[in-house]
Copies of this chain bind each other. A is one copy, B any other.
Amino acid sequence: MNGDLMPSIDDLDTPAILIDAARAEANIRKAQAHADAHGLKLRPHIKTHKLPYWAKKQVAAGAVGITCQKIGEAEVMADAGLTDIFLPYNILGRAKLERLKALHGRVTLSVTADSHETLEGLAATFTDAGHPLQVLVECDTGMGRCGVQSAEDAVTLAKVIDQAKGLSFGGLMTYPAAGRAAEADAWLKAARDALAAAGLACERISSGGTPDMWRSGEDSVVTEYRPGTYIYLDRYQVAKGVGTLDDCALTVLATVVSHPTKTRAILDSGSKALSSDTLGLPEFGELLGVPGARVTGLSEEHGTVTLTDGAKLRIGERVRVVPDHCCVVTNLFDQVHLIDGDTVLETLPVAARGKMG
């Protein structure tokens, strides 16, 4: 501590992201304790915070490493000293493969593949890499996104990986459909058994998604979990029963800029600050401490708040909005403010924001 007073959130211009540091730390500890109690390795997805600051805290709390979705994110994290990075993505094309190889030279790296095409690129790139790149097979266990469609196809790709000089078979990876963890588990168990029958050990079975992590039991075949949102939480997670509004660490500080009617107020935070991604919820956010005030409409620079049940706001008032999906909000801001109550502890650049490749 120096003699300077730390700034208050009243000193911040709006809109701004506030992160309640103690809540985020509590959320990290709680997930790590759950993972430890269930014999699960935790490998948090940094997409939610995009900050080396939290990635390091997650590893310090017991995570085996981190998960990134873009090479650009992984490069930022490697630069910051993170040493074990999982990129559960099909990396294709010469430019990305060369960057992947450079990254492999300086951190413990693993990736996924769900096609022969992806494996051909990886195999050609890593044949002279010195030590093999660990590749997991991505499995579509019900989500309907990427992934092989059958255990048989998983075995086929695992064999290709196993036989490629520069690659080593790392296991299976899935992003399960929300609420269908049991179905995913059955799928993965069948694939694991098929791999064993083919003589391939499957040491690592990696799954993801914050809501279902808390339902993962000891009888699951999953060995590693990649939750992202758990560190901040948001309205979607609250709707799914993962904590309460009081556990949400991320809020958007906004100003009421207009109040045209008794029941309508306008915030300076539109889709450029809160994002249009509702994950299916009927509103775009709610105001902390103002029951009955919900963000019911967004344009790019305006958030429309509908006031019900006698909720009141005044022009110029500053409010805190809990968004529906915190990860996409993080990507819209160049910086976040860590807070303790009304005190701003630290302002951090969102170092891995906007990484496209």
Contact = CB atoms under 8 A, between A and B. Distances in A.
Interface of A: 13-16, 47, 69-70, 89-90, 92-93, 95-96, 114-115, 117-118, 121, 138, 140, 144-149, 255, 257-261, 264, 266, 268, 271-273, 275-278, 297, 299-302, 304, 314-316, 327-328, 331-334, 354, 356-357
Nearest to A121: B316
Copies, count = 2
Given A147-B260, A149-B261, A316 B69 contact: no
Contacts of A13: 93, 95-96, 356-357
A266 B149 contact: no
A156 to B, nearest CB: 14
A221 B334 CA distance: 41
B304 A145 contact: yes
A89 B301 contact: yes
Given A328-B271, A356-B333, A257 B90 contact: yes
A277 to B, nearest CB: 4
A169 B314 CA distance: 25
Contacts of A140: 260
Nearest to A270: B69
B300 A47 contact: yes
B90 A258 contact: yes
B331 A272 contact: yes
B304 A15 contact: no
A120 to B, nearest CB: 9
A62 to B, nearest CB: 26
Contacts of A16: 356
A14 to B, nearest CB: 7
Given A301-B69, A354-B334, A271 B266 contact: no
Given A13-B356, A144-B297, A146-B258, 19 more contacts: A13-B93, A14-B93, A14-B356, A69-B300, A89-B301, A90-B257, A93-B316, A140-B260, A144-B264, A145-B258, A145-B299, A145-B304, A146-B260, A148-B260, A271-B275, A272-B331, A300-B328, A300-B331, A333-B354
A334 B121 CA distance: 28
Nearest to A146: B258
Contacts of A302: 145-146
A15 B92 contact: no
Nearest to A143: B299
A274 to B, nearest CB: 11
A268 B89 CA distance: 9
A145 B266 contact: yes
